[in-house]
Amino acid sequence: MSDQTNVAAWQLDQSSAAAYEEYLVGRLFRRWAQRLVAHSSAAPGERVLDAGCGTGIVARTAASHVAPEGSVVGVDINEGMIAEAQRRDTAGEVTWKVGDLERLPFDDGSFDLVLIEQVLQFISNREQALAEARRVLAPGGRVVLALLRDLEFNRSYGVLAEVLDRHAGAEIGDMMRSPFAGPGAEDILEELNRAGFRNVGIRHDVLDVRYPSPAEYLRQEAASSPLAGPLGELDDRTLQALIADLDGALARFTDDAGVVFPMETYFVSGYR
């Protein structure tokens, strides 16, 4: 992930990595990980790589599917994420490594399954990352990845980005948009085909996401992402105006229990 501004912007320190695990994994990515691993048909005895593992929820989920003879490795460029992943892996089921998806530190044919959850949209050289994923797969192995659909299908995040534009600046709004700015369905299928994968396929999936209030939605997103720094620099008056604006902007997603909205992703797979 060298020389990629999106990746650099989304690198989290260890305290932010802990917040990411508590808030985003707890509320969103645990369920996505369960669906991703189920979609991959991870089986006992398989060797699995969680590429761009973050705090490790996909790797930890896969470990129970491939036990007892299988193995799972999690790799991420972010040392803070790996440290948090190691801390959370109380059973010691996963091997954790710091490494770059564009230069994976593994021999050819080391894995039967490569899982990539919400990483490719941050990588400028996806061709190289996909080539590396294919290189480390054994013949007949497969890659399965999750990739957020664009803001047309994740509208609450677009609303949040627009509110951030108005109160924190366009640069901060664009930071919120970046996880949804990856390749579309046709592009990612073409990229896997170009990388040499066969039997490439795609499936759309949707989660319902709920927060107790728009303000808590903002707080958890900020605490577990690079938004924490710039939003922490806002004065109280600006922050209160931002929250009031967000309350109004999310009114159509709000009910008596808080705010709820759909979150949509692609699951994409291909075989070596």
Give the Cα separation of 108 and 180 in Å (integer). Answer: 31
The ranges of the chain with pLDDT < 50 are 1-14
> Using an 8 Å Cβ cutoff, are 115 and 144 in contact?
yes
Give the Cα separation of 11 and 160 in Å (integer). Answer: 21
CATH of the domain at 235: 3.40.50.150
Residue 21's Cβ-side half-sphere holds a number of Cα atoms within 13 Å equal to 22
Q: Which domain holds residue 251?
A: 5-271
> Using an 8 Å Cβ cutoff, are 180 and 263 in contact?
no
pLDDT tens column, 104-154: 999 999 999 999 999 999 998 999 999 999 999 999 999 999 999 999 999
The number of residues making up the chain comes to 272
Give the Cα separation of 116 and 83 in Å (integer). Answer: 19
When divided into structural domains, the chain yields a total of: 1
Give the Cα separation of 13 and 192 in Å (integer). Answer: 32
pTM attached to this predicted model: 0.91
What pLDDT score does 167 carry?
Answer: 96
Return the amino acid letter for 30: R
What pLDDT score does 12 carry?
Answer: 40
Give the Cα separation of 47 and 140 in Å (integer). Answer: 13
Task: Give the chain's end-to-end CA distance (angstroms, integer).
Answer: 23
pLDDT tens column, 250-264: 999 999 999 999 999
Using alpha carbons, list the distances in angstroms from residue 100 to 7, 64, 107, 132. 11, 25, 14, 10
What pLDDT score does 15 carry?
Answer: 65
